[in-house]
Structure 1
Amino acid sequence: MLAAITHTTLTLVTAERKEPSMPLKLSHIAAGAIAVLVGYTSSVAIIFQAIDAVGATPAQAASWMMALGVGMGVTCLILSLRFKMPILTAWSTPGAALIAVGMDGLTMNEAIGAFIVSAVLITLTGVTGWFEKFAKLIPDTLANALLAGILFDFGLAAFTSLGADTALVCVMGACFIAGRLYFPRYTVPASFAVGCLFAGLTGSFGAYADLDLSLATPQFVSPTFSVQAIIGLGLPLYIVTMCSQNMPGVVTLRSAGYPPPVSASLTVTGFASLVLAPFGGFALNFAAITAAICAGPEADDDPETRYLASVMAGIFYCLVGLGGAAVISLFLIAPPALVATIAGLALLSTIGNSLSHALQDAKAREPALITFMITVSGISFWGIGAAFWALVIGVAVSHILNRPNQTQQK
């Protein structure tokens, strides 16, 4: 299964290879590990709800987590090594939420059929290249405003967690400030290590008896294709994955200074989803929040070698996927304040840089602010999240406000 994904997707991308100029660093390992930690703990509960909604057995549930984890890991490795960029992939969190509420009257076999249809559409989107052309039309100021809005809640959570676990957050914050002064390259991993040590000493971790040490094995479910499932689940899954996941992921890479290989990446993630759908891999896509962790200066001062952080994330994703319920249950017993604080601290630089770039041009400031505010608002219409509507409205406002200026110049 993995060999098929690797062999086929490597033949679909054509970017030139560049040799890494520096060896693996501790910051790469730390950024990759934190990205995986944040990725799982921030949305794994929604995945469990989706699994429960389809009526999966415990073995099938473990297969879903294995397919998603290994799928993310393999696609991260393929894209990062091929393009030498910090390209992270993720499961479709809004897609999982859609599955959790959209299974009325559908069987698991019909759901798998809908997953396959969605994966085919994503693959075709990558092959045709239309989405990449659309993404290039977004102004950089709006792209940075969107990214800042997407990451805002995670940065804020590092401070709101003070009320939930004051001592833990204060210790991690003190280590972060000290790191900025004395060991800036290792600030985030040091803060994470100190937080884990403090949480362990104070008994903040959950009950270790809740750990499930079983390993996952793939469970194949044959697809059934029905019009009801395709229209009610397959097409909406494709739409929310493209609008709420892939678009922010593209913006994240652009804001970090990388030209994202959009079409090739969609082809890779779409084909991987197609192969893994019968095992529970319902939808893979560009990552945004976790990608920002690996694409920012905390991962590496040199943008040319930050891709090694996403390579490490890919390896960790594979290990987590193969570990099945054992590793995931370990994530779930971690103190929520620990995860929220380390995510916020790791993203502070990216949020600050994005806001700075978004607001530096006075003529584009209002559309950028509108884009940022709509993203932060979290509004949703017809199952499509705030990120999509922020871009639509932001681009429209930018066009309207700039037209008089263009007329006067003429």
Structure 2
Amino acid sequence: MTVTAAATPTTVPVTAGVACALVGFTSSFAVVLTGLRSVGATPLQAASGLLAVTVLQGVGMVALAWRFRIPITLAWSTPGAALLVSAGVVTGGWPAAVGAFVVTGLLILVTGVWSGLADLIRRIPTTIAQAMLAGVLLPICLEPVRAMAHNPEAVLPILLCWLIFQRFAARWAVPAAFVVAACVIAVSLVHEHRHIATAELLPRLDPTMPHITWQAMIGIALPLYIVTMASQNIPGVAVMKSFDYAVPWRPAMTVTGVGTVVGAAAGGHAINLAAISAALAAGPHAGADRDRRWIASCSAGVTYLVLGAASAALATLIALAPSGVAETVAGIALLTTLAGALHSALGGTGRGDERASYERIAAIVTFAVAASDITVAGVGSAFWALVIGLLVRGWLLSAE
């Protein structure tokens, strides 16, 4: 009894940290790979990017949690990865996308030093920012439906597993669905007698020299920065505050900004404060003693370092998946985020007055433009959605 009681304060946060990392990684790594491939990365380059963000966020959260003794958790930008899917290949190809990742990291770094930039992001109406995000997410979340129509025998088991876990253990619904997807892929590989070389399973970095194009700056860097700040960093601070933890803003932005810049050369897109998964390390699941929950963040960081070793194997598995399987995993992983974004964009105000009506009209216009997947002057729909949404909102509200 004495041994168990003594071990409990440490084992609880350690276990919570491992769960935090496993849920965070398995729930969205397919989205990261899909996003990187969409902007021109080869399978090897996408695997390198996944390895970079996994390792760097692991190192970053260990450093921050150890230094400040609070349960700060980091994550890759899942909404940002979804945005890359809508952006597509820009002028300059993959090197231009890498250049945009570098600029995104520099903007995050500047945000930590200059509070005015963070204030500027906060002044973007929540309805517009969330409508842009929802429009970006919609095409990805429709993929499971399309996949079900074209390849039901492979996709149906994944969706059924997700639905069952969503009812009884929602936190593990997407990880469980991925396990089923992995089984579907394995069966497909055996059936097709496909051989995987050992070298394809070993993690390795594939550096790319960044290239700067204005299309990538406007079409990738700016929307990626806005989405990362508005949907990850600022909510991440709010989540931590709800558990009575104050995030050290400048150090956190410095670590994530530098991590994004360093990871960009290897293909990583963005690192930021965790938002939803932050509660797993900062909340009661990490133990009753609030002063020891920082151990959960360290545990999560170490777990991410271990998961980094499996990144190449997982990327290879996704690349060899039957038609629609990878898209299904990515789509269901983002359904909750889509629901939250739509609620914030169209129903979050709770008001029924004329101003609220104008806000919703501007939001739905933003949503429609972002979901249209258009490209104008080499720039994707996310940027144009933000511009048009703000213009429509400004015009409507000017009548008041």
Q: Is TM > 0.5 for Structure 1 vs Structure 2? A: yes
Give the aligned residue type for 1:398: R
- Alpha-carbon contact 1:375-1:387 (below 8 Å) kept: yes
CA distance in 2, matches of 1:63, 1:78: 22
CA distance in 2, matches of 1:372, 1:308: 40
Shift of 1:145: 1.7
Shift of 1:350: 2.5
CA distance in 1, matches of 2:43, 2:90: 8
CA distance in 2, matches of 1:250, 1:241: 14
- Alpha-carbon contact 2:20-2:300 (below 8 Å) kept: no
Number of the residue aligned with 2:336 = 349
Unaligned runs of 5+ in 2: 1-11, 240-246, 287-292
CA distance in 1, matches of 2:49, 2:161: 38
Number of the residue aligned with 1:399 = 394
Give the aligned residue type for 1:133: D
- Alpha-carbon contact 1:117-1:234 (below 8 Å) kept: no
Count of matched residue pairs: 359
- Alpha-carbon contact 2:202-2:313 (below 8 Å) kept: yes
CA distance in 1, matches of 2:28, 2:216: 24
CA distance in 2, matches of 1:372, 1:314: 35
Number of the residue aligned with 1:55 = none
> 236, 241, 248: which is aligned to 2:227?
248
Percent identical pairs in the alignment equals 26
Shift of 1:103: 6.9
CA distance in 1, matches of 2:331, 2:101: 33
- Alpha-carbon contact 1:120-1:274 (below 8 Å) kept: yes
Shift of 1:39: 1.1
- Alpha-carbon contact 1:118-1:234 (below 8 Å) kept: no
- Alpha-carbon contact 1:212-1:326 (below 8 Å) kept: no
Instruction: Provide the alpha-carbon RMSD of the alignment.
Output: 5.0
- Alpha-carbon contact 2:24-2:277 (below 8 Å) kept: yes
- Alpha-carbon contact 2:112-2:250 (below 8 Å) kept: yes
Counterpart check, 1:30 vs 2:23: yes
- Alpha-carbon contact 2:161-2:177 (below 8 Å) kept: yes
TM-score, length basis structure 2: 0.67
Shift of 1:203: 4.4
Give the aligned residue type for 1:271: V
Alignment deviations for residues 68-90 of structure 1 (CA, whole Å, 9 cap, x no partner): 65345444665788774664235
> 143, 156, 162: which is aligned to 1:157?
143
Question: Cα distance 1:132–1:283, how it changes in 2: closer, same or farther (>3 A)?
Answer: farther
CA distance in 2, matches of 1:103, 1:32: 26
Counterpart check, 1:285 vs 2:273: no
Give the aligned residue type for 1:357: S
Give the aligned residue type for 2:230: V
Alignment deviations for residues 354-402 of structure 1 (CA, whole Å, 9 cap, x no partner): 2123222452210110111111112344544322322222222222212
- Alpha-carbon contact 1:33-1:312 (below 8 Å) kept: no
TM-score, length basis structure 1: 0.66
Shift of 1:255: 8.9
Number of the residue aligned with 2:7 = none
Shift of 1:166: 0.5
Q: Secondary structure at the match of 1:209?
A: coil
- Alpha-carbon contact 1:273-1:281 (below 8 Å) kept: no
Shift of 1:213: 4.5
Give the aligned residue type for 2:360: R
Q: Secondary structure at the match of 2:150?
A: coil
- Alpha-carbon contact 2:48-2:204 (below 8 Å) kept: yes
Q: Secondary structure at the match of 2:16?
A: coil
Question: Cα distance 1:200–1:314, how it changes in 2: closer, same or farther (>3 A)?
Answer: same
CA distance in 2, matches of 1:63, 1:347: 23
CA distance in 1, matches of 2:281, 2:327: 22
Superposed counterparts of 1:36-47, under 5 Å: 36-44=29-37, 46=39
CA distance in 2, matches of 1:325, 1:256: 31
CA distance in 2, matches of 1:273, 1:301: 24
Counterpart check, 1:130 vs 2:119: no
Give the aligned residue type for 1:349: T
Give the aligned residue type for 2:142: L
Shift of 1:340: 1.9
Unaligned runs of 5+ in 1: 1-18, 53-60, 105-110, 224-228, 406-410
- Alpha-carbon contact 1:86-1:307 (below 8 Å) kept: no
Question: Cα distance 1:354–1:264, how it changes in 2: closer, same or farther (>3 A)?
Answer: same
Question: Cα distance 1:127–1:21, how it changes in 2: closer, same or farther (>3 A)?
Answer: same
CA distance in 2, matches of 1:323, 1:156: 28
Number of the residue aligned with 2:134 = 148
Q: Secondary structure at the match of 1:88?
A: strand
CA distance in 2, matches of 1:397, 1:101: 32
